[in-house]
Amino acid sequence: MPISNQVAVVGTGVTRFGELYDRSYLSLLHEAATAAADDAGVEVGALEAAWLGTAEPQLGALVGDSAAAVTEALGFAPRPVTRVANFCATGMEAVRAAALAVAAGEYEVVLAVGAEKMRDLAPRESLVAKAVEQSHPVIAKGRTAPGQFALVASRYLHTYGYGRDVLAAVAVKNHQHATNNPKAHYRTPLTVEQVLSAPMAAEPLGLLDCTPTTDGAAAVVLASRRWAERNARQWVLIQGIGVGSYAGYYPALFRRDNDFLGFAATRAAAASAYRQAGITDPRAQLDLVECHDCFTITEIVNTEDLGLFASGTGGAELLAGTTTLGGELPVNVSGGLQSCGHPVGATGVRMVAEVTDQILGRAGSRQVRGARRGLAHNLGGPGAVAAVTVLGAA
């Protein structure tokens, strides 16, 4: 488990997330990367290698289909640049690739950046419509992303006796959190009534149960612990970073062992990250969690898959305020995907940046008091892959 505590996050940079029609993919990438370098106190020219997370370059004009985007945006030549992609876990995979390279001792200080331009296409071309593989006949039968997560939502509500209000509570909590995040796509509070009365997307998920389609970029500078100790102003340690997988493209539909009540990929990723980080009681040992909430139900079941709450109790803990800022274990104090939006390649990097900023005590009005250790989680596929990163104070 050699990554553990050997790699530091020494700088973070996040652009505003939103409908950024006036910004190009390359300018967003540049803004995030240079902000992260500035925060780390290094020139971009001092970064030895870079990893780019972009998931769906075909949604745009194929910019970001290779890491040449980094070379072009940052003048990065002749240094190594590499693109990684793994559904909605793409951003955290960029962080993991960079962390592995540092842990290998190959580089001392590197860049992980995620970026995605998603608003330049008509909504029917959006991620919600296209995040599922196109060749299979079921796609023609309405198996959209909301449709697939609706299966989980229906099963969860049925099995544990919740109503749609538990789903709405996620949206309300995360939108309230986002009022404290100047970079979120949406910063307007919602009421339960508003969420419940929104147009239905895929029953029981309404429009306000879904992440919006968003542009944005985020970056972190990673360094070896040795480099951080000598050069960094502020830094946190990557205590663990794990990836898990469940099935191929159609996990929710075709695997008999799927109970539609959670995500095995999340459980596998968490087990790996917790082993590295020495976490045995995540609820007690974590101070905050950024958890993938592409749909409201996703947050609820993933908090259970992450071992924060027992099966079926994630909804009750949510309703009791456990996961609200100020509660016992705040989840998505950034506003989550629900309010920040989900520029796919950027999201996992944004989460790592958020947890870093929280541990460093510089999260402003959304600061989790005394945060010393936090977790960031990405789910992709849906449910095909997941990534979990545990970050802790140095």
Segment contacting a second copy by CB under 8 A, of 102-110, 141-149, 184-192, 362-370? 102-110
- The contact pattern for a second copy, residues 20-49, with x = CB under 8 A and - = no contact, is -----------------------------x
CA 130/CA 111 separation, integer angstroms: 29
Q: How far is the CB of 157 from a second copy (least distance, A)?
A: 26
Terminal-residue alpha carbon distance, the chain: 18
Sequence-separated (6 or more) residues with CB below 8 Å from residue 315: 156, 160, 162, 166, 169, 300
> Kindly report the CA angle at 351 between 229 and 118, in degrees rounded to 5?
130
DSSP 203-267: TTEEGGGB----BEEEEEEEEEHHHHHHH-SS-EEEEEEEEEE--SS-HHHH-TT--SSS-HHHH
DSSP state at residue 124: G
> Do the Cβ atoms of 15 and 216 come closer than 8 Å?
yes
Considering the complex, state which of residue 62 and residue 320 has its C-beta at the smaller distance from a second copy: 62
Q: How far is the CB of 286 from a second copy (least distance, A)?
A: 22
Considering the complex, state which of residue 105 and residue 161 has its C-beta at the smaller distance from a second copy: 105
DSSP, collapsed to helix, strand or coil, labels residue 365 as helix
Considering the complex, state which of residue 162 and residue 246 has its C-beta at the smaller distance from a second copy: 246
- Count of positions on this chain that bind a second copy (CB under 8 A): 62
Helix axes 145-160, 164-178, angle to 10 degrees: 120
Nearest to 85 by CA among 195, 262, 243, 265: 243
Among 43, 45, 106, 158, binds a second copy (CB under 8 A): 106
Radius of gyration for the chain, computed over Cα atoms and rounded to the nearest angstrom: 19
Structure tokens at 59: 């949604």
Segment contacting a second copy by CB under 8 A, of 93-101, 144-152, 167-175, 308-316? 93-101
Among 45, 105, 142, 161, binds a second copy (CB under 8 A): 105
Structure tokens at 365: 């009005």
Cis? peptide before 382, omega within 30° of 0: yes
Contact positions with a second copy (CB under 8 A) in 46-85: 49, 55-56, 58, 60-63, 65-73, 76-85
Considering the complex, state which of residue 73 and residue 360 has its C-beta at the smaller distance from a second copy: 73
Q: How far is the CB of 104 from a second copy (least distance, A)?
A: 4
Q: How far is the CB of 241 from a second copy (least distance, A)?
A: 9
Q: How far is the CB of 217 from a second copy (least distance, A)?
A: 16
Segment contacting a second copy by CB under 8 A, of 99-107, 177-185, 320-328, 348-356? 99-107
Contact positions with a second copy (CB under 8 A) in 224-283: 242-249, 264-265, 267-269, 272
Structure tokens at 306: 């992450």
Q: How far is the CB of 235 from a second copy (least distance, A)?
A: 19
CA 126/CA 87 separation, integer angstroms: 14
CA 266/CA 275 separation, integer angstroms: 14
- The contact pattern for a second copy, residues 281-310, with x = CB under 8 A and - = no contact, is ------------------------------
| Residues carrying an active site annotation | 88, 342
Considering the complex, state which of residue 19 and residue 133 has its C-beta at the smaller distance from a second copy: 133
Chain residues that interact with a second copy, rule: CB under 8 A: 1-3, 49, 55-56, 58, 60-63, 65-73, 76-87, 93, 96-97, 100-101, 103-106, 133-135, 242-249, 264-265, 267-269, 272, 380-381, 384-385
